[in-house]
């Protein structure tokens, strides 16, 4: 028979329970020598109701008080001065360990079935006990469910294993300041997922830093696409994506071209809605899709020619009315001028070409289905899709990300339940397009609506979010509050740390004190994907993203700027294309 994971002797005892509240345990330290080895985050075992049970706690406060005592005077002389130590620890209970639990041995579960009792013995978990205890964490997970992220800082010989199912199915967030190792953490997670047969993760890459993950010569495992830039409009490469205007729903389109302060805004919105619905109806009729024509709405993603829309609006804007004595001012005459001007400005701006100047084949009815299959089908063995948004203008980035996210989610929503396969949307640099709602403008709120709907309802339809940001305080509270798992790397800003604290149960708030002290590549793994919320050292990915911190001082001393490269960059700026 194998021995229990936790075996304590009298030398391992550090003290006894002195006080208990709903989330904290106060411990009077009786072994002052051992106290010098205890730090914040140390695991403590508290004797439970039976000999086979221990409550597992984590220290978040260690104190030593000094007390001076002068003895009674003797023979007219001062008493002897003595100094006494009073040592205390405070810890929060995180789970229950049992040597025997029914027919199982060495089990650990989150939460405590009972509160610690006064005067119960407390032991420090270290050495062999720590190694054996860490070894049972994640041991019950099936091989196909195990997501290895690194090793425990407390015991580098023990692997930090999370439940891959729980990590992805209930939304997750990877948060950390610049240079904390965030991009490496994402690359590691994608690398682990790529080893599965049919992973389905769509990465929104804001800066093109994950391009190396699609480089087969360097061991890449992903498929990469780019949102088409101005230089791709005449002859688009095979890896470019277009998001035609007709994919946008009514509110998304109007948020870009309608000025709500214009007194004619209601008239402009009304005529736009009417014409778009009529044009989509005509497209369905031409495609002989009469069954769809019976039930479609103005928001349905049905192709139509934007030139036809402009023509109809111009006709409205110039058509005279007919009075008793002859022509009179038309009902819509001159009321759409500004609206048409704003729409034409978008059409003529090549930066928006991926939306308003898509290839001719995008007007084909079957085109949308082909694009969705390209993004959600992992039949080619590359289920990780990276979409590069780096050339998308910042002012409409929220609309573009929101439209694509809504499209993918809607496809998953309308799919028959028995045929769905799970999809995760990885939102890199989420603060750029998922801001706090009170700070969002009309364009950003359209994107927020799409992502917040996914955050609230996506789990039911096999669609989850993995939110990545260096400024969690700038990310939608609604979206972060729906995340059940957090990989929190170093965060030095108080407001960012407070966001994490507000999202944690009161019993785990003490862990967040470590956030500004974490080393590069270290993280707090919190949530229901792991039994023990703890500090881990992340493994390094084999294929590293293009996000390395530049060595400023070293490069200034060794590398001279190249004039030809600077001139080429100016030309790229002018053409809004990086070229080759």
pLDDT in tens, 385-403: 999 998 888 888 888 899 9
What is 177-243+374-546's CATH topology? Rossmann fold (3.40.50)
Helix (H) or strand (E) holding 443: helix 442-457
With b meaning 16 or more CB within 10 Å and e meaning fewer, what string describes 475-496?
A: bbbbbbebbbbbbbbbbeeeeb
Q: How many other CB atoms are found less than 10 A from the CB of residue 509? A: 16
Locate 466 and state its tokens.
């993995």
| pLDDT at residue 447 in the model | 84
DSSP per residue, 209-273: TTGGGG-GGGT---EEEEE--GGGSSS--TTEE---GGGS-HHHHHHHH--TTSTTHHHHHHHHH
Distance, in Å, from the CA atom of 117 to the CA atom of 53, rounded to the nearest integer, reads 13
- Ramachandran angles phi, psi of 55, nearest 5°: -90, 130
Number of neighbouring beta carbons within 10 Å of residue 178: 12
Residues in Cβ contact with 503 at an 8 Å cutoff, skipping those fewer than 6 apart: 480, 481, 483, 486
What pLDDT sits at residue 4? Answer: 81
Query: Residue 508 carries which DSSP code?
Result: G
Edge to edge, the sheet with strand 201-205 lists: 159-163, 146-152, 534-538, 522-527, 485-488, 172-175, 463-469, 423-427, 201-205, 384-388, 223-227, 240-241
pTM across the whole model: 0.86
- How does DSSP classify residue 345? H
β-strand pairing of 463-469 with 423-427: parallel
Can you give the pLDDT at residue 453? 93
Given the DSSP bridges, would you call strands 43-47 and 25-29 parallel, antiparallel or unpaired? unpaired
Q: pLDDT 10s digit of each residue in the chain, 580 long? A: 457 888 888 888 999 999 998 778 999 998 888 888 887 788 899 998 888 889 999 888 888 877 666 666 666 666 665 667 788 999 988 888 888 877 888 888 887 878 888 999 999 988 888 888 888 887 778 888 999 999 888 878 888 889 999 999 989 999 999 889 999 999 999 999 999 989 999 999 999 999 999 998 888 999 999 998 888 888 888 889 999 999 998 988 898 888 888 888 999 999 999 999 999 999 999 999 999 999 999 999 999 999 999 999 999 999 887 777 777 788 888 899 999 999 999 999 888 899 999 999 999 999 999 999 999 886 677 889 999 998 888 888 888 899 999 999 999 999 998 988 999 999 999 999 998 888 887 778 888 889 999 999 999 999 999 999 999 999 999 999 999 999 999 998 889 888 888 887 666 676 777 888 889 999 999 888 888 888 899 999 999 998 767 788 888 889 888 888 888 888 888 776 666 5
- In whole angstroms, give the CA distance from residue 455 to residue 152: 30
The rounded distance, in Å, linking the Cα atoms of 257 and 344 is: 9
Are residues 365 and 283 in contact, defined by beta-carbon separation less than 8 angstroms?
yes
The whole-angstrom separation of Cα 257 and Cα 343 is 6
- Looking at residue 75, what is its pLDDT? 65
Decide if 244 contacts 301 (C-beta within 8 A): no
- Residue 571, both tokens: 């030309």
Crossing angle (nearest 10°) for helices 250-257 and 265-286: 130
**SS3 assignment, position 328:** strand
Among the listed residues 44, 41, 80, 76, the one whose alpha carbon sits nearest the alpha carbon of residue 61 = 41
Q: Give the model confidence (pLDDT) of 283-339 as tens digits.
A: 999 999 999 999 999 999 999 999 999 999 999 999 887 777 777 788 888 899 999
- What angle do helix axes 306-318 and 265-286 make, rounded to 10 degrees? 130
The contacts of residue 186 (CB under 8 Å, 6+ apart) are 174, 203, 210, 426, 428, 468, 545
- d(Cα 353, Cα 232) in Å, to the nearest integer? 9
For residue 510, give the nearest of 62, 28, 47 by alpha carbon: 62
Three-class HEC string of 92-119: EEEEEEEEEECCEEEEEEECCCCCCCCC
Per-residue pLDDT at 438:
83
With beta carbons less than 8 A apart as the criterion, state whether 112 and 95 touch. Answer: yes
Residues 6+ apart with CB under 8 A from 506: 23
Scanning the structure block, which residue is given the tokens 């030809």? Answer: 564
How far is residue 273's CA from residue 290's CA, in Å, rounded to a whole number? 21
pLDDT of residue 106: 84
Q: Report the pLDDT value the prediction gives residue 579, as an integer from 0 to 100.
A: 60
Joined tokens for residue 403: 């439209």
pLDDT at 396: 83
Domain residue spans in the chain?
10-136, 177-243+374-546, 251-339
Give the number of other Cβ atoms within 10 Å of residue 65's Cβ. Answer: 9
Work out the angle at residue 364's Cα, subtended by the Cα atoms of residues 358 and 366, and round it to the nearest 5 degrees. Answer: 115
How far is it, in rounded angstroms, from Cα 108 to Cα 96? 6
**pLDDT of res. 1:** 41
């Amino acid at each position: 028979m194998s021995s229990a994971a936790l075996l304590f002797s009298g030398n391992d005892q550090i003290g006894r329970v002195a006080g208990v509240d709903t989330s904290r345990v106060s411990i009077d330290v009786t072994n002052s020598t051992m106290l010098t080895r205890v730090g914040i985050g140390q695991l403590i075992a508290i004797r439970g109701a039976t000999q086979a049970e221990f409550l597992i706690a984590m220290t978040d406060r260690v104190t030593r008080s000094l007390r001076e005592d002068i003895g009674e005077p003797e023979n007219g002389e001062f008493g002897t001065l003595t100094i006494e130590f009073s040592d205390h620890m405070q810890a929060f209970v995180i789970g229950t360990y049992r040597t025997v639990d029914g027919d199982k041995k060495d089990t650990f579960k989150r939460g405590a079935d009972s509160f610690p009792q006064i005067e119960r013995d407390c032991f420090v978990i270290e050495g062999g006990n720590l190694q054996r205890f860490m070894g049972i964490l994640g041991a019950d997970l099936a091989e196909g469910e195990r997501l290895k992220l690194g090793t425990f800082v407390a015991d580098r010989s023990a692997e930090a294993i999370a439940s891959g199912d729980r990590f992805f199915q209930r939304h997750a967030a990877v948060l950390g300041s610049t240079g904390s190792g965030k991009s490496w953490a994402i690359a590691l997670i994608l690398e682990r997922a790529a080893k599965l047969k049919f992973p389905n993760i769509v990465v929104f890459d804001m800066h093109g830093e994950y391009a190396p993950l699609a480089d087969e010569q360097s061991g890449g495992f992903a498929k990469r696409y780019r949102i088409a830039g101005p230089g791709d409009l005449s002859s688009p490469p095979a890896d470019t994506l277009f998001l035609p205007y007709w994919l946008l729903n009514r509110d998304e389109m109007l948020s870009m071209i309608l000025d709500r302060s214009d007194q004619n805004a209601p008239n402009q919105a009304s005529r736009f809605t009417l014409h778009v619905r009529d044009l989509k109806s005509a497209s369905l009729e031409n495609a002989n899709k009469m069954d769809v024509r019976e039930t479609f709405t103005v928001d349905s993603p049905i192709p139509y020619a934007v030139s036809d829309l402009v023509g109809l609006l111009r006709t409205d804007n110039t058509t005279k009315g007919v009075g008793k004595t002859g022509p009179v001012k038309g009902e819509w005459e001159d009321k759409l001028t500004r609206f048409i001007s704003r729409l034409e400005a978008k059409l003529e701006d090549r930066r928006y070409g991926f939306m308003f100047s898509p290839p001719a084949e995008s007007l084909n009815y079957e085109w949308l289905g082909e694009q969705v299959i390209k993004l959600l089908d992992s039949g080619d063995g590359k289920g990780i899709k990276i979409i590069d948004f780096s050339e998308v203008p910042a002012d409409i980035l929220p609309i573009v990300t929101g439209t694509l996210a809504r499209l993918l989610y809607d496809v998953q929503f309308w799919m028959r339940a028995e045929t769905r396969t799970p999809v995760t949307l990885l939102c890199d640099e989420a603060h750029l397009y998922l801001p706090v709602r009170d700070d969002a403008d009309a364009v950003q709120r359209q994107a927020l609506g799409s992502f917040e709907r996914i955050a609230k309802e996506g789990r039911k339809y096999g669609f989850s979010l993995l939110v990545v940001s260096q400024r969690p305080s700038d990310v939608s509270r609604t979206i972060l509050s729906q995340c059940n798992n957090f990989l929190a790397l170093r965060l030095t800003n108080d407001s960012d740390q407070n966001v994490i604290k507000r999202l944690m149960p009161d019993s785990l708030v003490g862990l967040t004190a470590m956030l500004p002290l974490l080393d590069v590549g270290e993280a707090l793994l919190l949530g229901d994907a792991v039994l023990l919320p703890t500090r881990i050292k992340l493994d390094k990915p084999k294929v590293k993203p293009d996000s390395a911190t530049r060595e400023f001082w070293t490069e200034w001393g060794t590398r001279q700027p190249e004039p030809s490269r600077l001139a080429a960059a100016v030309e790229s700026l002018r053409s809004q294309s990086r070229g080759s």
